[in-house]
Amino acid sequence: MTEGKEITKDPSWKTKVLVTGVLIGAATGLLAAYLLTQRTSEEEGIEMTPGEGVKLGVAVFAFLRQVTQLGD
């Protein structure tokens, strides 16, 4: 259990965590956009119903909630 406490000894640990999070988020967003554009053709465009948008929003918030509970 002492390994979890070691991260706080480095004064720049917050910066490292933020930069890592930004990079992971950017890569995930890029991959999601790529997959979405590959799935649709140029003639069709991207159609999303309000219900699908709500489902996506709830899924994102559920994921973020799980991320915030990682250290507990």
DSSP assignment string, 40-70: S-TTT-----HHHHHHHHHHHHHHHHHHHTT
Tens of pLDDT along the chain (72 residues)?
A: 455 556 567 778 889 989 999 999 999 999 988 988 888 876 677 788 999 999 999 999 999 899 889 877
CA 22 to chain centre: 9
Reported as type and span, the H/E element at residue 12 is none
pTM: 0.63
**What residue spans define the domains of the chain?**
12-68
